């Protein structure tokens, strides 16, 4: 990759929440961004519009992250539209909460398909296509360490993401491609806040020495660091949680 070449990023799950803010941040850093979504085209179009109105370059693409054919088509689209791929940020995932003893195993299978298989499928294409000097950034969770009740199955899927991340970094030896994961703590997104009583939100905010929930922009800052200047951070899980653990 030459110094004058515009970098290209694919951001999965970029139609809302943390993914949207990550897409906007990478675009603001000068990258052309392929905005992935799985179902809500209107929200994906809003992300694209926000980026283009701010002077950036973006377009949307729909795909099931666990479908290898659809994901390959998404990577094809990024290469055709922008000339190559330098950064892949995989934020897409689902979270279904229940105590282990009460968990509906269909929910476990759904999370396994999206969170584990989806990460594997996206990373497989990324490993084959990201250009020299690029970065692959998966999304884990701080709950693997905080160990909150009801998060058993979700945290288990993200533990698998950690393993995929650490081993893929070593498998890409000699390619000058970094592979890391960002593990957010409690973050004020609609997904996180939905259905929670204020007392629960306040308690979670108090867990951090900074005494607040994270904001999507806090997580995007960590992603931008790993996607850009952080070339000596590789094979790591970065806990972006304000010091909760």
In the beta sheet, which residues pair with residue 58?
Answer: 33
Q: What is d(CA 139, CA 12) in angstroms, rounded to the nearest whole number?
A: 10
- CA count, 13 A, side-chain hemisphere, 120: 11
Q: What is d(CA 214, CA 208) in angstroms, rounded to the nearest whole number?
A: 9
Q: What is the DSSP string of 205-245?
A: HHTSTT-S-B-HHHHHHHHHHHHTT-TT--S-EEEESTT--
* Torsional class of 13: left (φ above 0), alpha (ψ -120 to 50), beta (otherwise): left
Of 82, 151, 154, 239, the catalytic one is 154
34 in Cβ contact with 81 (< 8 Å): yes
154 carries an active-site annotation: yes
3-state secondary structure of 184: strand
Largest Cα–Cα distance of the chain, in whole Å? 55
47 in Cβ contact with 23 (< 8 Å): yes
Q: What is d(CA 191, CA 163) in angstroms, rounded to the nearest whole number?
A: 25
The token pair at 38 is 């799985």
Q: What angle do CA 245, 23, 34 make, to 5 degrees?
A: 135
**Residues with a known catalytic role:** 154
């Amino acid at each position: 990759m030459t110094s004058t070449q515009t970098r290209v990023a694919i951001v999965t799950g970029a139609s809302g929440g943390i993914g949207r803010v990550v897409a906007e941040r990478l675009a603001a850093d000068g990258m052309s961004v392929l905005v992935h979504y799985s179902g809500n085209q209107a929200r994906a179009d809003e992300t694209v519009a926000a980026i283009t109105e701010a002077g950036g370059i973006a377009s949307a693409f729909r795909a099931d992250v666990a479908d290898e054919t659809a994901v390959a088509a998404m990577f094809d689209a990024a290469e055709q539209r922008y000339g190559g791929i330098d950064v892949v940020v995989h934020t897409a995932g689902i979270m279904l909460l229940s105590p282990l003893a009460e968990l509906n195993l269909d929910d476990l299978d759904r999370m396994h398909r999206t969170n584990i298989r989806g990460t594997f499928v996206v990373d497989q294409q990324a490993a084959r296509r990201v250009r020299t000097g690029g970065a692959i950034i998966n999304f884990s969770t701080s709950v693997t360490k905080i160990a909150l009740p009801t998060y058993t199955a979700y945290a288990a899927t993200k533990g698998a993401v950690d393993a995929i991340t650490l081993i893929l970094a070593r498998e890409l030896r000699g390619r000058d491609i970094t592979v890391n994961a960002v593990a957010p703590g409690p973050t004020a997104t609609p997904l996180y806040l939905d259905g929670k009583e204020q007392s629960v939100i306040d308690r979670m905010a108090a867990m951090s020495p900074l005494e607040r929930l994270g904001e999507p922009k806090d997580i995007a800052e960590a992603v931008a660091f790993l996607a850009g200047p952080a070339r000596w951070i590789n094979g790591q899980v970065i806990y972006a949680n304000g010091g909760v653990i």
